[in-house]
Structure 1
Amino acid sequence: MKKLCLALALLLGLAMAAPSAQAGPVIERILQQKELVVATTGAYPPLTAKTKEGEFIGLDMDIAKALAQSLGVRLKIRQMPFDRLIPAAASGEVDLAIGGISVTPQRNLEVYFAGPYFVSGQTLLATTKVGEGIKGLDDVNQPEFTIAVAKGTTSEQATRQIMRRAKIIATDTMDQALEMVLSGEVKAMVADYPYCAVAVFRNPEAKLGTLQKPFTFEPLGVALPPNDPQWDNLVNNFLFNMEGGGRLNYLKNRWFKSPAWMRLLP
């Protein structure tokens, strides 16, 4: 009888300890410290940005806040340059990295990716007057059509590959390319969709517009440490539920359809 009671006690103890023992290292750390540590740049609106008061806002930040809330832990944001995001997630320095990170095979060799939660890509930005004559990329891929792109970017690579016949002018920065569009020096510029969306908001008097759909496919994902499949599964399921429940679409409209949030920026 004593042996039976001892065996039952051991089984009960193992059953009670099982959830903790089965938790992966990232989840276990989050629950123990009651803190979700997130890396972002804070410099890529409307996905991630910093307000005048120093608060992090944007679509990606809303996702991080909602995830922390669902886990019942506080959110700690660590700001760092873009080229530090993947290494920080890969090393486990942070629990996740988010901030307009495109899912690529090279990056996937270093980290897990949850998502994608948003599909970005390269698009064309021009005045609505110029845009009236653009029905498709064939109208742009002409020798007389001038396009500005920031040199050394994926925008330049895509433009030179897809619009080979157009006259392409490389600038030092995307802002310089935008200035050329605003001044009429070029007919259009090519940049990633989030940048173009913000440019439309910031220059209402210029009556700018973009293509309805980006002409490249660049899915954005949440970068996670590669040593915890359960954490990857949890974040993927969280994003799936946000998408299915309509919350993710609501947030996309909030940040990409209305410029109201821009008054919060410095």
Structure 2
Amino acid sequence: MNKQLKLILITSSIIYAVLFSSASWAQTVLQEIQQTGVLKVGIRKDAVLFGYEDGQGWKGYCTTFADSLANSLSRQLNRTVTVAAVRSTIQNREAIVRNGNVHIECGPNTISSAKEKVENIKYSQAFFITGTQLIVKNQNRNVSLANTSIGVLQGSANLAAVARVYPRAEIVQFPERYLGITAVSNGKITAFAGDTILLVGEAVRQGLPVDNFALLPSQPLSCDVYGMILPANDSQWQNTVNSFINSSEGKQAWGTWFGGLVPYLKATIDYCTK
């Protein structure tokens, strides 16, 4: 074999290895799940009611949704499908989907067509609607917030809404949502801003009586529609997830975690859906 032919064969082998080294390369999500029997789901550790850890593993809507989806896929694919939970964060939620580390990221992800293009991901259809509000102790429900201290979660979209509406307020950023709710409860700040459902959820997780707090203003500062993060170029998987969200099993998972909170969320839902 001459040196030129040998070089061509070696080069071809390297290219082939690079392109096809991943078993899931060019596979659809359903094909990969059929092959592995594993549904990989990104779940937050601190988005109470959606996904959180309590020392005994993950809990929340996303765990119930993932388990129910896996059961549905088991019937669809005629094989047992189990769930592998992967911790996701605000910072990595798009990347872990885009890189194939998870098949779906379930969390309070505000749907944004601009972000779909920038991050090369796709959102599922909406499964939740909420808005930016501020949680205060009942004794402060009639206090003007214009010159008070207002907490927000670092890196959250709520910061812009608070700064726009309360430009003279002292804005205090917290690395974790629970720290902000605790600061309100202890009187260290007057209010903490966030998505309505996440504020209520964190108060519930801390065992704080929800009736001791108020959500202001009655009309939220902004409306946010949540979708799950999916791979951009897999319409089959997108249709599968969207169909399950609309299914009786999908709605049952929703009702398990959010059904009892509808009275607290009704004003926001009504405003944001009118």
Superposition pairs for residues 24-63 of structure 1, below 5 Å? 25-54=28-57, 56-63=58-65
Q: Are 1:225 and 2:228 an aligned pair? A: no
Residue range with higher mean Cα deviation, 63-72 or 241-250: 241-250
The CA RMSD measured in Å over matched residues stands at 3.0
Q: Compared with structure 1, are the counterparts of its residues 219 and 124 closer, same or farther at alpha carbon in structure 2 (3 Å cutoff)? A: same
Q: Are 1:93 and 2:95 an aligned pair? A: no
Question: How many aligned positions are there?
Answer: 226
**Matched residue SS, 2:126:** strand
Task: List gaps (5 residues or longer) in structure 2.
Answer: 1-26, 75-80, 265-274
Superposition pairs for residues 3-18 of structure 1, below 5 Å? none
- Give the letter aligned to residue 106 of structure 2: I
- Give the Å deviation of 1:255: 7.5
Q: Are 1:79 and 2:84 an aligned pair? A: no
Task: List gaps (5 residues or longer) in structure 1.
Answer: 1-23, 259-266
Superposition pairs for residues 179-218 of structure 1, below 5 Å? 179-201=182-204, 202=206, 203-204=208-209, 207-211=212-216, 214-218=220-224
**Matched residue SS, 1:67:** helix
Match of 1:70 in 2: 72
Q: Give me the whole-angstrom Cα distance separating, in 2, the residues matched to 1:75 and 1:116.
A: 22
Q: Give me the whole-angstrom Cα distance separating, in 1, the residues matched to 2:230 and 2:244.
A: 14
- Give the letter aligned to residue 41 of structure 2: V
- Give the Å deviation of 1:157: 1.3
Say if 2:126 and 2:227, in contact at 8 Å, map to a contact too.
yes
- Give the Å deviation of 1:249: 3.2
Normalising by structure 1, we get a TM-score of: 0.72
Aligned-pair identity in percent equals 19
**Matched residue SS, 1:116:** coil
Match of 2:136 in 1: 126
Q: Give me the whole-angstrom Cα distance separating, in 2, the residues matched to 1:243 and 1:210.
A: 31
- Give the letter aligned to residue 119 of structure 1: I
- Give the letter aligned to residue 61 of structure 2: L
Q: Give me the whole-angstrom Cα distance separating, in 1, the residues matched to 2:250 and 2:95.
A: 31
Say if 2:68 and 2:253, in contact at 8 Å, map to a contact too.
no
Residue range with higher mean Cα deviation, 247-256 or 68-77: 247-256
Q: Give me the whole-angstrom Cα distance separating, in 1, the residues matched to 2:251 and 2:182.
A: 40
Q: Give me the whole-angstrom Cα distance separating, in 2, the residues matched to 1:190 and 1:115.
A: 26
- Give the Å deviation of 1:35: 1.8
Q: Are 1:237 and 2:243 an aligned pair? A: yes
